[in-house]
Structure 1
Amino acid sequence: MKCNEISHFSHPQHKLSYEYSEFPFKCDGCKEVGIGSRYKCTNCDYDLHMHCAIPSPSITHPFYTKCSFQFLSRPPGNVPRYCNACEKDITGFLYHCRSCGFDLHPCCAKLPMVLDDGDVKLYLYRKVSASCHRCGRKGRNKSWSYRSTCKKYNLHVACVKEMLVDSWHEIYFGHDNNYNNSNTNYRKLENRIPSLKGTLQTHHKKSKGKAQKCCEVAGLALQFIISAVLGDPTTLIAGVVGSLMSK
């Protein structure tokens, strides 16, 4: 349930207000990038994904039927942890299974099993044997994947994260703390929205008809996958990402 204002243990000095933003932000809870719905402290420029601001104390996941994941504010122990969904390091909030040792970023843990806008339907798989549209590999260790109903389009969740890191390096690593407040930087950001446009055009450069339609579907699918990975898998946010990708 969404509240307009909340108190959060990670930022006790001020209350956090619900806000919707079309600007990417770095979540101060899980340390991952987000877009869309968030809780923000305007005094301190402190941001949290919805999933980080109002977490479930414990969750289960259909990919790990024997696991019970507990929400933690920091990774347990002194050994580096990585997310079993996207293979990326975990440096902040997480869901952890004490019995199996599995870890999930909060947004990865809440990735929808099905993304469906009426035209494009994508299913989340723990593993797929087909090649990824981004990296071209048929298997990638432990990364989850989204796959289209026709099974012709696949994209690793890990590859989406890599695209985001490459495009939004300053946000991930904090080299530019004024990204959200600068129109100049926002225009630069628009040109670095992750896109498969070039890859798809090269892949089907001599093909038309069904192949061209495949590219269009793949591009739309990417919009929804990026939106889901960023913590807000809504049609509205997918449209925002799509408009930025087209520039």
Structure 2
Amino acid sequence: MKYGQLSHFSHPNHPLHLHNSDVPFNCDGCREVGLGSRFSCPPCNFDLHTHCAAAAASPAPLRHPFYPKCAFQFLPRPPGDAPRYCNACGRDAPGFLFHCRTCGFDLHPCCAALPHVLEADGGGGGGLRLYLRRRASSPCHRCGRKGRSWSYRSGCGKYELHVACVTEMLVDSWQELYGGGGKKAAPWNGNIPRIRGAAASHHRIGSGKGKVRRCCEVAAMAVQFVISAVLGDPTAMIAGIVGSFIFR
């Protein structure tokens, strides 16, 4: 097998090749949106997140620190007839997933691989460290609520972002491309669509224009890095691409 090439059970007729592009795609494994690195077959319009492509590689169960008693097994489709949802982001899980038969918990492959610490470099020595948490301990910067899903919280405790909120911003913004979760509904025009709602905030801060401006800057940086992680390619290249269109 050549480097950057993969034979995968989900697409047996052709090998998949590793590509890196700023064109959004819909993963044929987990059925979620992606950006950046993917294994794809361009003639068949078939794409897999790198995490989804690797999910079935190991027969050993997946262990996650948020669920120490769970043994997650990879499944190409959800078990049973009832709809399943991801315990990390709260979205439906109609495709590839990790499932614990004992507890009934499910995780998208990309959600299962979310980094537990994100280092967001704000420039000028003003960085931000975000920690993944199973439950939000303060109101989400985006929706103003505590519950819902896993979240990323800043080390200073001022910024909290639900993984679900970030995912919803992506899906809502790219709806015109994916027509409710399917393949692209219109020809690609070369422009990354703006993420609607990324600038909105329910976070209350102290008075003063300087404080407001700094809060918005740091919050935008936090959103940028959480988005890159949720997309399944938390690299500097993708973070830069995402950061270029958060506030357009």
Q: Does 2:202 match 1:196?
A: no
TM-score by length of 1: 0.89
Q: CA deviation at 1:193?
A: 2.0
* 1:205 to partner: Cα distance: 10
Moved more, 57-66 or 202-211: 202-211
Partner of 1:136: 144
Alignment of 1:1-247 (within 5 A): 3-55=3-55, 56-57=58-59, 58-118=61-121, 119-137=127-145, 139-141=146-148, 143-170=149-176, 171=178, 173-174=180-181, 177=184, 179=186, 181-183=187-189, 186-187=190-191, 189-190=192-193, 192-199=194-201, 207-247=208-248
Asked if the contact 2:206–2:212 (Cα under 8 Å) also holds between the matched residues in 1, the reply is no
**CA gap 1:70/1:146 in 2 versus in 1, 3 angstroms:** same
Kindly indicate whether the alpha-carbon contact (under 8 Å) linking 1:31 and 1:172 is maintained by their aligned counterparts in 2: no
Offset, 1:100: 0.8
Looking at structure 2, the residues matched to 182 and 99 of structure 1 have their Cα atoms a distance apart, in angstroms, of: 43
CA contact (8 A) 1:75 1:94 kept: yes
More divergent stretch after superposition (148-157 vs 210-219): 210-219
* Other structure's SS at 1:150 match: coil
Identity of aligned residues (%): 58
Contact 2:198–2:247 (CA<8 Å) still a contact in 1? no
Single out whichever of 212-221 and 46-55 deviates more from structure 2: 212-221
Counterpart amino acid of residue 10 in structure 1: S
Query: How many Å apart are 1:174 and its aligned residue?
Result: 4.9
Q: Output the CA distance in 1 between the equivalents of 2:9 and 2:42.
A: 17
TM-score (norm 2): 0.89
Give the root-mean-square deviation of aligned CA atoms: 2.1
Paired residues in the alignment total: 238
Structure 2, unmatched stretches of 5+, are 122-126
Query: Residue 73 of structure 1 contacts residue 92 of structure 1 at CA under 8 Å; is this kept in 2?
Result: yes
Secondary structure of 1:89's match?
Answer: coil
CA distance in 2, matches of 1:27, 1:176: 9
In the alignment, the residues of structure 1 paired with residue 91 and residue 179 of structure 2 have an alpha-carbon distance, to the nearest angstrom, of 12
Name whichever structure is richer in helix by fraction. 1
1:32–1:172 CA contact under 8 A, matched in 2: no
Verify the 8 A CA contact 2:20 2:36 in the aligned structure 1: yes
Deviation beyond 4 Å, 4+ runs, structure 1: 202-206
Q: Which amino acid aligns with 2:195?
A: I
Maintained 8 Å contact 2:133/2:150: yes
Letter in 2 for 1:156: H
The question of whether the paired residues in 2 share the 8 Å contact of 1:204 and 1:212 is answered with no
Deviation at 1:71, TM superposition (A): 0.7
